[in-house]
Amino acid sequence: MADSIMYQEDGFVVLENDQPEQLMSRTELLNKLEKVVTNATDLPRDVAQNKTMKAQAEYLLENYCEFNPDENSYLQWYVVRWEKK
């Protein structure tokens, strides 16, 4: 059986073109994804079937780890756990 710690998330590492690596909370990433969804011209069908931008952003967060809003840009996110020393 998998250890439950594998399903814990403290935040996300976010990578996008022409930007330094960023650490974001779930709320910050959802806000960013809402903006991306708002400006995207061609959403994947499974994302677009969600009725609100918030639902689309949540679907992206839970089911994808990369989204390319257009041919010249990318956005990737990975779950991280913070470790205190």
**Number of CB atoms found within 10 A of residue 12's CB:** 22
Give the domain ranges of the chain. Answer: 25-85
What pLDDT was estimated at residue 6?
Answer: 53
To 5 degrees, how large is the angle CA 31–CA 20–CA 76?
50
What pLDDT was estimated at residue 44?
Answer: 92
**What is the tens place of the pLDDT at every residue in 48-71?**
999 999 999 999 999 999 998 888
Q: What is the mean pLDDT for each group of 10 consecutive residues in the chain (85 residues)?
A: 62 94 96 93 92 95 91 90 72
**25-85: CATH class:** alpha beta
